[in-house]
């Protein structure tokens, strides 16, 4: 097939495009981010794979295409969409097309409001290491999958297994019909909890076999009851740290940057930190064990997983400074990140960029609560302006609204519009955590801070 992907720079779209290219299809694509930056690393990676990147102006689409796939971020009045429509080329959204692909495989779908990227990437990595030769279409870039021609968010194998993220953000999770599913957690993110819970119920009903579910998550209790109402008991598999479950971690030792634990008498080591990542690992262990993989074999390879890009990426860690870049963007992820960081350094400057005006409006109160709960007296929070990816949206909220709520409850916070102003004040703090979704330049900013601090440390020693 010859397929055009509009919005190919998005994490989900680039994963499908890369996957289909590796399966032998002819792939073209466009993205406004690539128009603005032709030397974008992802653009170069896709081109190296043989994908043809064209301007997002409609001229790259002609009647020779069998299908056009659009990111949900591409508006229907954009030239690519209008051109595909005028030529009567079949049009599908990214999630619609992913749902079609899912039906062709024995799919394991990972759901939850936090941890999907890490868990799906970890599961794909472990299955690959264990010789299961999986296929993978993810949202995050697995560090050990990345090559010059692979961004790291997909792999192709010759088995009929496929691991995907089942994202609830656009509501299309209800269209996926996987063989097995993992449900990590349920919290406020793109939708109110009740709306997401309703989608999870449909997702559960659409799962053919095993459902791996977090027994510790209070908001998932209703989902577990729903599972029991629609599935035989042996298809419900639970994992936990605190509550009784089929796969409960014991004798846990949280280290600053990794975790050791026991499960059913076997010792496991996880090379990424935090309680939240332990939950991610437990879900993978449960899934693999239920597929018949011995726990001993899983324990032998778990420690090899190095994580996902922009998930607790350490850019600098020495006696004087710590700089970490992370994708955390909803209140649940932010709390998990900050709780982990508390075990690393006593005084931290957090730099957060809210993502999207509509999500920020919905999560404003929860944002404030999360920061107030986790900012210590020795910490400081800097809020950047809300990240705007384009499109029609009401800009009736700003980072100042969040800052005002946090400041009113006695925490140290400010809004800084220009990142260069932060760069001029790096001497004020030794440790920086930079976090927020979608904006790749946050990683560049973290690297810049790390480079500056490392240079200043070297200069002082000299």
CA-CA distance, 168 to 139, in Å (whole number)?
13
User: What is the gyration radius of the CA atoms in the chain, in angstroms?
Assistant: 22
* Secondary structure of residue 26 in the 3-state scheme: strand
How does the average pLDDT of the chain come out, rounded?
A: 92
Residue 169 has pLDDT above 80, yes or no: no
* 296 shares its domain with 318: no
Report if residue 388 sits inside a domain. Answer: yes
Report if residue 431 sits inside a domain. Answer: yes
Report if residue 33 sits inside a domain. Answer: yes
* 11 shares its domain with 132: no
Boundary of a domain, candidates 94, 127, 155:
94
**Res 297: pLDDT:** 98
Distance separating the N- and C-terminal Cα atoms of the chain: 61
Residue 461 has pLDDT above 60, yes or no: no
Which of 69-78, 185-194, 425-434, 448-457 has the largest mean confidence? 425-434
Share of the chain above pLDDT 70, in %: 95
Residue 302 has pLDDT above 90, yes or no: yes
**Res 196: pLDDT:** 86
* 189 shares its domain with 45: no
Residue 462 has pLDDT above 50, yes or no: no
Residues 6+ apart with CB under 8 A from 419: 384, 445
Dihedral angle at the C-alpha atoms of 10, 12, 18, 23, nearest 10 degrees?
-150
Report if residue 136 sits inside a domain. Answer: yes
> Which CATH number characterizes residue 118's domain?
3.40.1190.10
Residue 226 has pLDDT above 80, yes or no: no
**Res 172: pLDDT:** 80
* 276 shares its domain with 415: no
Boundary of a domain, candidates 37, 63, 94:
94
Please tell me the least confidently modeled range out of 62-66, 128-132, 253-257. 253-257
Boundary of a domain, candidates 62, 94, 126:
94
* 451 shares its domain with 328: yes
> Which CATH number characterizes residue 341's domain?
3.90.190.20
Report if residue 48 sits inside a domain. Answer: yes
Q: How many CB atoms lie within 10 A of CB 166?
A: 30
Confidence category of residue 459, pLDDT binned at 50, 70, 90? low
Confidence category of residue 189, pLDDT binned at 50, 70, 90? confident
Residue 219 has pLDDT above 90, yes or no: no
* 22 shares its domain with 150: no
CA-CA distance, 109 to 166, in Å (whole number)?
6
* 60 shares its domain with 120: no
Report if residue 307 sits inside a domain. Answer: no
> Which CATH number characterizes residue 34's domain?
3.40.50.720
Sole residue written with tokens 């929070």: 381
> pLDDT, tens digit, for every residue of 259-270?
999 999 999 999
* 112 shares its domain with 43: no
Under DSSP, the state recorded for 346 is S
Confidence category of residue 455, pLDDT binned at 50, 70, 90? confident
Report if residue 371 sits inside a domain. Answer: yes
Report if residue 308 sits inside a domain. Answer: no
> Who wins on pLDDT, 438 or 419?
419
Confidence category of residue 246, pLDDT binned at 50, 70, 90? very high
* 118 shares its domain with 258: yes
Residue 307 has pLDDT above 60, yes or no: yes
> pLDDT, tens digit, for every residue of 395-412?
999 999 999 999 999 999
Please tell me the least confidently modeled range out of 200-204, 241-245, 382-386. 200-204
**Is pTM, for the whole model, over 0.85?**
yes
Residue 341 has pLDDT above 50, yes or no: yes
> pLDDT, tens digit, for every residue of 43-79?
999 999 999 999 999 999 999 999 999 998 898 999 9
> Who wins on pLDDT, 148 or 389?
148
Residue 165 has pLDDT above 90, yes or no: yes
**Res 233: pLDDT:** 62
Structural domain total, the chain: 3
Give backbone dihedrals phi and psi of 212, rounded to 5 degrees, phi first.
Answer: -95, 120
* 107 shares its domain with 90: no
* 380 shares its domain with 454: yes
* 250 shares its domain with 359: no
* Secondary structure of residue 98 in the 3-state scheme: helix
Residue 319 has pLDDT above 70, yes or no: yes
Domain span including residue 134: 103-302
Residue 223 has pLDDT above 80, yes or no: no
Angle at which helices 275-290 and 116-129 pack, to 10 degrees?
A: 50
């Amino acid at each position: 097939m010859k397929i055009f992907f509009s919005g190919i720079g998005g994490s989900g779209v680039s994963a499908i495009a890369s996957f289909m290219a590796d399966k032998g299809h002819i792939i073209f694509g466009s993205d406004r981010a690539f128009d603005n930056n032709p030397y974008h690393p992802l653009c170069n990676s896709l081109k190296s794979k043989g994908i043809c990147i064209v301007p997002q102006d409609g001229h790259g689409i002609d009647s020779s295409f069998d299908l056009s796939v659009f990111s949900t971020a591409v508006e229907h009045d954009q030239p690519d969409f209008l051109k595909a429509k005028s030529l009567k080329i079949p049009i599908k959204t990214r999630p619609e097309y992913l749902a079609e692909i899912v039906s062709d495989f024995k799919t394991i779908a990972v759901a939850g409001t936090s941890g999907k990227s890490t868990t799906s990437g970890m599961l794909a990595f472990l299955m690959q290491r264990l010789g299961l030769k999986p296929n993978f279409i993810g949202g995050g870039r697995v560090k050990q999958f990345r090559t010059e021609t692979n961004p790291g968010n997909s792999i192709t194998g010759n088995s009929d297994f496929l691991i995907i993220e089942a994202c609830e953000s656009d509501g299309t999770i209800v269209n996926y019909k996987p063989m097995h599913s993992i449900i990590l957690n349920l919290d406020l993110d793109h939708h109110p909890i009740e709306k997401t819970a309703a989608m999870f119920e449909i997702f559960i009903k659409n799962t053919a076999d095993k459902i791996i579910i977090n027994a510790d998550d209070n908001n998932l209790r209703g989902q577990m009851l729903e599972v029991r109402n629609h599935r035989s008991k042996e298809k419900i598999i639970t994992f936990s740290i605190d509550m009784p479950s089929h796969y409960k971690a014991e004798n846990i030792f949280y280290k600053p940057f990794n975790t050791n634990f026991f499960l059913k008498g076997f010792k496991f080591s996880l090379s990424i930190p935090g309680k939240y990542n332990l939950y991610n690992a437990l879900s993978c262990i449960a899934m693999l064990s239920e597929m018949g993989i011995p726990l001993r074999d899983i324990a032998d390879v778990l420690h090899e997983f190095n994580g996902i890009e922009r998930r607790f990426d350490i850019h600098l860690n020495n006696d004087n400074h710590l700089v970490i870049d992370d994708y955390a963007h909803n209140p649940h992820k932010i709390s998990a990140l900050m709780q982990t960081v508390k075990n690393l350094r006593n005084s931290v400057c957090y730099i957060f960029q809210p993502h999207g005006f509509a999500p920020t409006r919905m999560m404003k109160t929860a944002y404030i609560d999360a920061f107030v709960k986790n900012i210590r007296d020795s910490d400081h929070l800097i809020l950047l302006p809300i990240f705007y990816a384009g499109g029609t949206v009401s800009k009736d909220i700003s980072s100042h609204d969040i800052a005002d709520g946090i400041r009113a409850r006695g925490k140290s916070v400010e809004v800084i519009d220009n990142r260069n102003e932060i760069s001029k004040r790096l001497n004020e703090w030794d440790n920086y955590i930079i976090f927020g979704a979608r904006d790749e330049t946050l990683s560049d900013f973290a690297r810049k801070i790390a480079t500056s601090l490392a240079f200043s440390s070297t200069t002082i020693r000299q």
